[in-house]
C-alpha cells in the first residue's frame, strides 16, 4: 500500500521550494495589506512540513513491522 | 484579481499530484470491493482526516468564512456542538453496528436491520441528494472563480470535474480518500497564514473586540433570547435542532462520511475514526471562521478593505477570496486558490464515491441485476463514476439556470435527512423496532419536514401552503423543522412497531444493541481504545465551549 506521507511530503516540499524561490528572487512581490515577505515565510513553513513528512515516511519504511 | 504564471505553476503541480496518486493506486483495484470500499485497508490517520475532509467542501469553506463575517463567533457552533458530540456518539455507539454488521453502505445496514423498502427509500433519496449537492457546489465554485478571476464558468467546472473523475475512476474510494487527506492538509496550510495575517493586521483579538459588536464575539452568552444574537436562534433550537437532530443526523447516518470510517482496517480503527477526526475539526474555526471575523474588523479600519457588495447588500461569500487578494502576493495567492479548488474536489469526490457505492450495491445489485459475478459490479462501479460526474455537471448547469429552484432544494436537503437519525436510534438500540415501523416513521418524518417547510415563514421565504408560524431567522426555521421531523419519525416508528410483531432475536445478531458483542481492546494503549479517546475529545470540546462562551 502506498504510504501517503511520501507523495504529500514531496508535494509540500515542492510547493515550499517554489515559494521560497519567489521570496528570494522576487522579494518585491508584496500584497496590498502586508509588509511581510509572505512567500518566503510560508514557503519555508511548507518546505519544513514536507521534509517532516518525508522523514516520517523514511523512518517508518526502515522499521520492519 | 490577476494571477501570475507562478500561480498557474502551483495549480498545475497540484493537479499533477492528485492525478499521480490516482495513477499509483489504480493497480490496487481488482474487485468491486477494492474500488467501492477500499477493501478495509486504509490506515486510521488517513480515514480520520478524510472523514473531516469529505465534509470540508468549497461551499463549507466559503460559507463558513461568510458566516464568520455575518454571525461572528456563533459560527463555531457548527464545529463544536454541531459536530463533536455526534462524532463521539458515532464512534462509541453506532460504529460497532455499522462495521460489525459487515454492511457495505448505510442503506445496506437498513436492509439488514429492517427490509428492502426502507433501504431503497434511503438509497434513492441519498443518491439524488449527492448528485445535486455536488452539482450545487460545482456551480458555487464556477461562479466564484468567474467573479474573482474572470475565468470562464464552463472551463473551471469542466476542468475540475474532469480531474476528480480521472482520479476516482483510476483508484476508486482509496484514491478519493488519499487525495482528501492531501487536500485537507493543503486547505489548512493554504488558509492558516491568511487567518494569522488578517488577525495581526487588525491588532489581534483586542483589535477585533474594539471594532466588532460584542454579540458577534460570543458563542453562548447571547443565546437566551433569539432577538439578541446575530443568528436569531434560541438556546433550545440550537442545542436540540443543530446539536442533536441535524448534527447526529448528518455525522451518524450520512453515508458520505460514514463510508470513510467503514474503510478502516479493523473495528477499533473504525470506531476511532470519527473521534480522531473531531480533533482537527475543533481547530478548523481558527482557519475558517476567524478570517471572516477579522475581515469584518478590517473593514472598519479604513486601510483599503471593505466587505464586497452585491445587489446593494454585503456579499459575505466573497470574504475569503477578497482577503486572499489583499494578503497573498503572487505565489502564495496560487496556493490559496489551489486550496480552494482542493476543498471543492474533496467535497465532490466524497459525493461521487458515496453515490457510486449506493448506486452499485443498493440500487443496481438489489433491483436490476442480482447475481452477477463481481467483475460485473466493478464495471458498473466504474461506469457509475462517469455517470455520477456527468449528472453533477448537469446539476451545476441546472443550478446556474434556475438558481431559485436550487435554493429551495438546498432547504429541502437541509432537513430531509433529519428524521433518519430517529430510525437509526430506534433500530440500533431497541430491538422491538419493526421494519414497517421504521419505514412508516421515515416516510411520515420526511413528509413532516417538507410540510413544516411549506407552512412556516422565515426571512420572507417559505410558507407556500400557508403561514402557521414565522421564525426569527432561516437558521431557526431550519433547526425547528429538524426537531419536528425527528420527533414525528421517532413517535410514529415507536407506535407502529408496538402494534406489529417483533423480529426474532436470532435474526438480529450484530445489528442491535444487546445482541451484539462490542469488542474490548484489552492491552491496547489508551489512545488506541475508543472509550478513553472519547473522554479526551469530550474534555477538549468542553474547554473550547467555555473559552468561546
B30 touches A at CB < 8 Å:
no
| Nearest one of B44, B65, B141 to B346, comparing CA atoms | B141
Q: Which of B109, B94, B124, B103 is nearest to B36 (CA)?
A: B103
Rounded Cα distance, B94 and B258, in Å: 10
B227 three-class SS = coil
B264 strand-pairing partners: B42
- Cβ pair B185:A43 closer than 8 A: no
Q: Over range B259-265, report the average pLDDT.
A: 90
Chain A environment of B2 (Cβ under 8 Å)? none
pLDDT of residue B168: 92
Q: Average pLDDT of B175-180?
A: 90
What angle, 0 to 180 degrees and rounded to 10, lies between the N-to-C axes of helices B474-499 and B435-455?
A: 150
Residues on chain B touching A50 (C-beta within 8 angstroms) = none
ipTM: 0.94
Phi and psi dihedrals of B457, rounded to 5?
Answer: -125, 140
Instruction: Identify the DSSP state of B313.
Output: E
- Mutation for testing the A interface, residue in B53, B176, B291, B332 having most A CBs under 10 Å: B332
How many alpha carbons fall within 13 Å on the CB side of residue B303? Answer: 17
Q: Is the pLDDT of residue A9 over 90?
A: yes
Sheet hosting strand B461-462, strand order edge to edge:
B461-462, B456-458, B469-471
Position B406 pLDDT exceeds 70: no
DSSP B244: I
Give the pLDDT confidence of B413-444 residue by residue, as tens digits. Answer: 777 778 899 999 999 889 889 999 999 999 99
pLDDT of residue A42: 92
CB contact under 8 A, A23 and B331: yes
Q: What is the pLDDT of residue B389?
A: 94
Asked whether the beta carbons of residue A49 and residue B189 sit closer than 8 angstroms, the reply is yes
CA-based nearest distance A11→chain B, Å: 7
> What is the signed CA dihedral for B208, B209, B214, B220, rounded to 10 degrees?
80
| From A1, A2, A39, residue closest to B329, measured CB to CB | A39
Q: Is the pLDDT of residue B339 over 70?
A: yes
pLDDT at B20: 92
Looking at chain A, which residue has its C-alpha nearest residue B192?
A: A42
Interface touch A15/B46, C-beta < 8 Å: no
What integer is the mean pLDDT of B468-474?
A: 80
Rg (CA), chain A: 15
Which of B328, B329, B336 should one mutate to test binding to chain A, selecting the residue with the greatest count of A CBs within 10 A? B329
What does the mean pLDDT of chain B come to? 87
Cell digits of residue B12: 498545475
* Confidence at B235, pLDDT banded by 50, 70, 90: confident
Q: Residues B96-119: what's their mean pLDDT? A: 89
**What is the 3-state composition of chain A as percent helix, strand, coil, each rounded to the nearest 5?**
70, 0, 30
Give dist(CA B242, CA B79) in Å, integer: 11
pLDDT of residue B120: 92
Sign of the dihedral defined by the CA atoms of residues B243, B248, B254, B256, in that order: positive
User: Which pLDDT band holds residue A32 (cuts at 50, 70, 90)?
Assistant: confident
If you search the block for the grid coordinates 414497517, which residue do you land on? B436
Task: Sketch the domain layout of chain A as residue ranges.
Answer: 5-62
Q: Does B325 touch chain A (CB under 8 A)?
A: yes
Dihedrals phi, psi of A28, to nearest 5 degrees: -80, -5
Using DSSP bridges, classify how beta strands B313-314 and B461-462 pair: parallel, antiparallel or unpaired: unpaired
Interface contact flag, B305 A33, Cβ < 8 Å: yes
Measured between CB atoms, which of A4, A14, A38 is closest to B329?
A38
Residue B328: what are its φ and ψ, rounded to 5°? -105, 125
Q: For A12, which residue in chain B has the nearest alpha carbon?
A: B186
Helices (H) and strands (E) in chain A, counts: 2, 0
Q: Which residue of B has its CA nearest to A35?
A: B327
In 3D, which of B293, B285, B292 has the Cα closest to residue B79? B285
pLDDT, position B335: 93
Kindly give the pairing relationship between strand B456-458 and strand B469-471: parallel
Hey, what domains does chain B have and what are their CATH numbers? 5-401+519-547 (1.20.1730.10)
Report pLDDT for B440.
93
Q: CB distance B178–A12 less than 8 Å?
A: no
Strand intervals (E) in A1-65: none
Band (B245; pLDDT cuts 50, 70, 90): confident
Res B518 pLDDT > 80: no
Tell me the C-alpha distance between B361 and B404, whole Å.
Answer: 33
Residue B228: what pLDDT? 79
Cβ contacts below 8 Å, chain A against chain B, sum to: 92
**Distance between CA atoms of B328 and B326, rounded to whole angstroms?**
6
What are the residues facing B470 on neighbouring strands?
A: B457
Note the pLDDT of residue A64: 63
> Is pLDDT above 70 for A65?
no
Average pLDDT over residues B482-489: 92
Specify whether the backbone of B521 is left (phi greater than 0), alpha (psi in -120 to 50) or beta: beta
pLDDT tens digits, one per residue of B141-175: 888 888 888 888 898 889 989 999 999 999 888 89
Mean pLDDT of B326-335: 90
Q: How many CB atoms lie within 10 A of CB B171?
A: 26
Query: Per-residue pLDDT averaged across B28-43, rounded?
Result: 85
Report CA-CA distances (Å) from B70 to A2, A51, B67, B74, B231.
43, 39, 5, 10, 9
The whole-number average pLDDT for the span B211-232 is: 82
Mean pLDDT of the region B359-388: 91
Contact criterion met (CB below 8 Å) for B424 and B253: yes
Amino acid at each position: 500500500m502506498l504510504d501517503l506521507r511520501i507523495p504529500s511530503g514531496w508535494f509540500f516540499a515542492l510547493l515550499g521550494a517554489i515559494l521560497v524561490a519567489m521570496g528570494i528572487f522576487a522579494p518585491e512581490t508584496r500584497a496590498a495589506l502586508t509588509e511581510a515577505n509572505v512567500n518566503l515565510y510560508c514557503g519555508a513553513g511548507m518546505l519544513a512540513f514536507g521534509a517532516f513528512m518525508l522523514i516520517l515516511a523514511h523512518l517508518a519504511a526502515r522499521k520492519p513491522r | 484579481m490577476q494571477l501570475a504564471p507562478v500561480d498557474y505553476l502551483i495549480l498545475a503541480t497540484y493537479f499533477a499530484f492528485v492525478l499521480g496518486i490516482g495513477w499509483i493506486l489504480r493497480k490496487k483495484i481488482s474487485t468491486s470491493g477494492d474500488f467501492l470500499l477500499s477493501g478495509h485497508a486504509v490506515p486510521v490517520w488517513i480515514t480520520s482526516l478524510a472523514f473531516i475532509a469529505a465534509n470540508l467542501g468549497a461551499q463549507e469553506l466559503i460559507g463558513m468564512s461568510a458566516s464568520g463575517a455575518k454571525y461572528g463567533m456563533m459560527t463555531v457552533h457548527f464545529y463544536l456542538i454541531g459536530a463533536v458530540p455526534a462524532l463521539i456518539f458515532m464512534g462509541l455507539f453506532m460504529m460497532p453496528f455499522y462495521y460489525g454488521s459487515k454492511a457495505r453502505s448505510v442503506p445496506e445496514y437498513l436492509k439488514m436491520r429492517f427490509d428492502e423498502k426502507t433501504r431503497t427509500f434511503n438509497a434513492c433519496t441519498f443518491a439524488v441528494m449527492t448528485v445535486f449537492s455536488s452539482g450545487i457546489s460545482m456551480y458555487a465554485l464556477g461562479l466564484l472563480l468567474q467573479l474573482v478571476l474572470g475565468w470562464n464558468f464552463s472551463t473551471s467546472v469542466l476542468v475540475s470535474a474532469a480531474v476528480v473523475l480521472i482520479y476516482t475512476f483510476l483508484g476508486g474510494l482509496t484514491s478519493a480518500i488519499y487525495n482528501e487527506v492531501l487536500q485537507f492538509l493543503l486547505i489548512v496550510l493554504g488558509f492558516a497564514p491568511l487567518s494569522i495575517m488578517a488577525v495581526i493586521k487588525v491588532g489581534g483579538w483586542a483589535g477585533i473586540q474594539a471594532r466588532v459588536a460584542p454579540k458577534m464575539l460570543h458563542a453562548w452568552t447571547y443565546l437566551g433570547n433569539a432577538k439578541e444574537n446575530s443568528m436569531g436562534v434560541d438556546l433550545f433550537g440550537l442545542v436540540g435542532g443543530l446539536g442533536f437532530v441535524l448534527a447526529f443526523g448528518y455525522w451518524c447516518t450520512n453515508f458520505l462520511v460514514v463510508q470513510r470510517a467503514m474503510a478502516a482496517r479493523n473495528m477499533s480503527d473504525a470506531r476511532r475514526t470519527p473521534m480522531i477526526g473531531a480533533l482537527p475539526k475543533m481547530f478548523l474555526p481558527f482557519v475558517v471562521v476567524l478570517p471572516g471575523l477579522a475581515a469584518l474588523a478590517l473593514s472598519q479600519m479604513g486601510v483599503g478593505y471593505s466587505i464586497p457588495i452585491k445587489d446593494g447588500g454585503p456579499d459575505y461569500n466573497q470574504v475569503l477570496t477578497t482577503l486572499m487578494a489583499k494578503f497573498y502576493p503572487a505565489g502564495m495567492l496560487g496556493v490559496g486558490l489551489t486550496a480552494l479548488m482542493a476543498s471543492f474536489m474533496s467535497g465532490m469526490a466524497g459525493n461521487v464515491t458515496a453515490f457510486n457505492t449506493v448506486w452499485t450495491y443498493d440500487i443496481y445489485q438489489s433491483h436490476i441485476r442480482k447475481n452477477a459475478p463481481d467483475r460485473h459490479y466493478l464495471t458498473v462501479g466504474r461506469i457509475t463514476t462517469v455517470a455520477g460526474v456527468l449528472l453533477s455537471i448537469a446539476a451545476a448547469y441546472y443550478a446556474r439556470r434556475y438558481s431559485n429552484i436550487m435554493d429551495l432544494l438546498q432547504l429541502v436537503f437541509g432537513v430531509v435527512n433529519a428524521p433518519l437519525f430517529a430510525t437509526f436510534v430506534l433500530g440500533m438500540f431497541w430491538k422491538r423496532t419493526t421494519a414497517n415501523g421504521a419505514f412508516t416513521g421515515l416516510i411520515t418524518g420526511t413528509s413532516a419536514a417538507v410540510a413544516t417547510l411549506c407552512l412556516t415563514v422565515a426571512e420572507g421565504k417559505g410558507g407556500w401552503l400557508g403561514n402557521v408560524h414565522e421564525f426569527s431567522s432561516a437558521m431557526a426555521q431550519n433547526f425547528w423543522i429538524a426537531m419536528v421531523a425527528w420527533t414525528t419519525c421517532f413517535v410514529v416508528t415507536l407506535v407502529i412497531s408496538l402494534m406489529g410483531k417483533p423480529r426474532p432475536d436470532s435474526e438480529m445478531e450484530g445489528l442491535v444493541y444487546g445482541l451484539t458483542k462490542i469488542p474490548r481492546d484489552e492491552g491496547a494503549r489508551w489512545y488506541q481504545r475508543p472509550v478513553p479517546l472519547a473522554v479526551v475529545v469530550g474534555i477538549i470540546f468542553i474547554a473550547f465551549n467555555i473559552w468561546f462562551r
